[in-house]
Amino acid sequence: MHTGVVAPLDQADIDTDQIIPKQFLKSVSREGYGDFLFHDWRTEESGAINPAFILNREPYKGASILLAGRNFGCGSSREHAAWALKDFGFRVILAPSFADIFRENADQNGLAALSLEESVVRELLARAHNEAPLRLTVDLEQCIVADSGTLITSFEIDDFRKMCLLEGLDRIGLTLRQAEAISSFEQQRWPNRPKVAPESF
Amino acid sequence: MIGDQPSTLLDKIWNNHLVHADPGAPDLLYVDLHLLHEVTSAQAFDGLKVAGRTVRRPDLCVATVDHNIPTTDRSLPVLDSIAHRQMEVLRENAQSHGIRLFDVDDERQGIVHVIGPELGLTRPGMVIVCGDSHTSTHGAFGALSFGIGTSEVEHVLATQCIPQRRPKAMEIRLKGDRPMGISAKDLILAIIGEIGVSGAAGHVIEYTGPVIGSLSMEERMTICNMSIEAGARAGMISPDPTTFEYLRNREFGPNSDEFADLKMEWRSLKTDDRATFDRRVVMDISDLEPQVTWGTNPGMVTGISGRVPNPEEIEDEEVRDSTERALTYMGLGPGTPMESISVDRVFVGSCTNGRLEDLREVARILDGKRVHSGVHAMVVPGSTAVRRQAELEGLDRVFRDAGFEWREAGCSMCIGMNPDTLSTGERCASTTNRNFEGRQGRGGRTHLVSPATAAATALTGRFTDPRST
């Protein structure tokens, strides 16, 4: 269960180049990307803060729920987008739909990317602008979004994703439980793979 | 057929790679080839180390440097110390785990999606992954090939498997004859314009129809490459004699003894006649024109004789808003004819259009002519091998004589992580795959076009139908 301030970004097709521009992908760490989230929207050309951008304004600076248009996170596979959103303080992204790779990256980092009905998103976007700050509660266990105890909408999520998000499962560990199946698969497989090991190894 | 069930190409490859299936959980798929590059792998290797894990199959991994390397003189040091560090880390990781690396001084270096096919690493029927969304390129060979995030890169390094939900299968069938002078890039831009940038979300696209069968492998790669721009994680084309011919005599391809057996296997990699797709789109391409994007995503596209749209004529509020926003960013007025828009830069290259056929097409149009005086143009070959071959054919002379810069291989201005970028307000005709805001440099304005249109545009300084030059 998470309760927090909602930041509305009413745009469709927000791509990962906007979420974290390429000049910030040169780090070899998973941390410290929050400062560069939506960099070209948050800053002026000069580098100064753009006071008009929503995440630079009170009460949205401390928002932990992002509300956006459809197909959020399209484009590049950079996981830095999920890292940046999480590092900034977001815990939940609500949108009518998400790009496939982004949603997977969000899942991997415990960032809940949840799809709501488009009409509900539009209503919430309007409310988030008009009654700032809109605070919502997202209950992943019950699959509902509520406002001060009043149910707004429910959402669907498959049980496996839900379990991973709630329990922060070690996905690699899960796969390694199938080590035997992997080994036997490797022995049976057809020889349709290139031989690329370095000669020196 | 799988058992008695007619099945799609996607189903066949999927079932061939299914290691384990648990009800309710994603399927576990085996990965035949894992491609790595400097930008999305460091954190994955680090994660392995922290967890005390190793690389399960270094012999099925291949690494290269492409995203942030300079395309200027390779004998000079890399001035960007952070980019340099990222390349160093890849070297260390490849070395310590025994992974083959095609480094900056290797003649096999290049954009990961150009060298995979070129070296014969990519084969029909494989599952291929890479921490890069344009991994869809390899689907041109009838492989299931998709981009993954860094946590998934770590997962594949540790287990050689990837948990995946089975995507839906979508057929995009092209009908009609391809008009003269219409490139694969025009076809895929028109497809994205038709179905939209999320039109194939949750699906793997299989491209079908006689037009697809008539395309060269390089053209097929251009089409599959941009499947991700329609929201599909992968695109694929069933392998045929064109595919088999391409695969002969490649350094890491099958040897002649293996070839006959594999070809038998590969021939079965097609969607059965009675198999059904979850979704089907049929597009008639008979009247297609060269395509040019006007906005800030690849679906915002029109024919070269078309005009920039007028937001006031758009009913859907969200589409109207995004159109208005795109026109503001692009500095374009409603109704502007595309052919009247002038450009400052022309970029030829990328995993979409940086292969030899693309360069030959550009040279054919440029031959003996000069770039318009106001235009700064460059060609960045997709791989060092493409560069060498282009030089053998004298294409570099044609480019240089026309006033183009001729660079070393890499991703370059497609992503602008190296010094090759647009300045604010600069407008570029680009053979790349993404015209997102700031993609080629903050404030830069990217228009996606085919290599032929890029070349014709370089000569006149404004968007030009290559069929008229």
How many residues are present in chain B?
A: 469
Amino acid B409 reads A
Q: In the predicted model, is pLDDT for residue A199 greater than 60?
A: no
User: Region B118-129: what's the mean pLDDT?
Assistant: 96
Q: What is the pLDDT of residues B354-377, one digit of tens each?
A: 999 999 999 999 999 999 999 999
Q: Which of A161, A132, A141 minimizes the C-alpha distance to A67? A: A132
**Other beta carbons less than 10 A from residue B250's beta carbon:** 16
Position A91 in a domain: yes
Number of domains in chain A: 1
Q: In the predicted model, is pLDDT for residue A195 greater than 90?
A: no
For residue B163, give the chain A residue with the closest CA. Answer: A175
- Residue whose pair of structure tokens reads 């460059």 in the numeric block: B378
- Interatomic CA distance for residues B362 and B340, integer angstroms: 21
Nearest CA of chain B to the CA of A58: how many Å?
24
- Interatomic CA distance for residues B119 and A200, integer angstroms: 19
CB B187 within 8 A of CB B54: no
Position A95 in a domain: yes
Q: What is the pLDDT of residues B20-60, one digit of tens each?
A: 999 999 999 999 999 999 999 999 999 999 999 999 999 99
What local confidence, expressed as pLDDT, does residue B80 receive? Answer: 85
- Structure-token pair, residue B469: 């030059």
Say which CATH number the domain at A22 has.
Answer: 3.20.19.10
Cβ–Cβ contact A187 with B under 8 A: no
Q: In the predicted model, is pLDDT for residue A197 greater than 80?
A: no
Cβ–Cβ contact A123 with B under 8 A: no
Q: In the predicted model, is pLDDT for residue A159 greater than 80?
A: yes
Q: What is the pLDDT of residues A87-131, one digit of tens each?
A: 999 999 999 999 999 999 999 999 999 999 999 999 999 999 998
Q: Across the interface, which of B30, B152, B231 has its CB nearest the CB of A104?
A: B152
Position A180 in a domain: no
Phi, psi of A158 (to 5 degrees): -75, 155
Instruction: Report CB contact under 8 Å: B231, A99.
Output: yes
Instruction: Report strand pairing: A150-154 vs B404-406.
Output: unpaired
Cβ–Cβ contact B85 with A under 8 A: yes
Residue of B401 and B259 predicted with greater confidence: B401
Amino acid A41 reads W
Instruction: Report CB contact under 8 Å: B231, A77.
Output: no
Residue of B78 and B142 predicted with greater confidence: B142
Q: What is the ipTM of this complex?
A: 0.95
Which of B170, B197, B259, B412 is the best mutation test for A, with the most CBs of A within 10 A?
Answer: B197
Q: Across the interface, which of A13, A69, A192 has its CB nearest the CB of B125?
A: A192
Position A97 in a domain: yes
Q: Across the interface, which of B155, B439, B442 has its CB nearest the CB of A175?
A: B155
Cβ–Cβ contact A15 with B under 8 A: yes
Q: In the predicted model, is pLDDT for residue B463 greater than 60?
A: yes
- CB contacts of B128 in chain A (<8 Å) are none
What local confidence, expressed as pLDDT, does residue A200 receive? Answer: 42
For residue B315, name the pLDDT band (cuts at 50, 70, 90): very high
B positions 253-312 inside 8 Å of A (CB): 253, 258, 262, 265, 297
CB B224 within 8 A of CB B138: yes
| Interior/surface letters B340-353, b for 16+ CB within 10 angstroms, e for the rest | ebebbbbbbbbbbb
Q: In the predicted model, is pLDDT for residue B242 greater than 90?
A: yes
Q: In the predicted model, is pLDDT for residue B215 greater than 70?
A: yes
* % residues pLDDT > 90 (chain B): 91
Position A32 in a domain: yes
- CB contacts of A158 in chain B (<8 Å) are 24
Q: Which domain holds residue A110?
A: 2-157
For residue B122, name the pLDDT band (cuts at 50, 70, 90): very high
CB B305 within 8 A of CB B466: no
For residue A201, name the pLDDT band (cuts at 50, 70, 90): very low
- CB contacts of B56 in chain A (<8 Å) are 182
CB B180 within 8 A of CB B269: no
- Interatomic CA distance for residues B74 and B105, integer angstroms: 8
Cβ–Cβ contact A10 with B under 8 A: yes
- Residue whose pair of structure tokens reads 């190409």 in the numeric block: B9
Distances (CA, A) of A92 to A65, A81, A109, A198, B359: 5, 14, 11, 44, 46
For residue B76, name the pLDDT band (cuts at 50, 70, 90): confident
Q: What is the pLDDT of residues B260-270, one digit of tens each?
A: 888 988 999 99
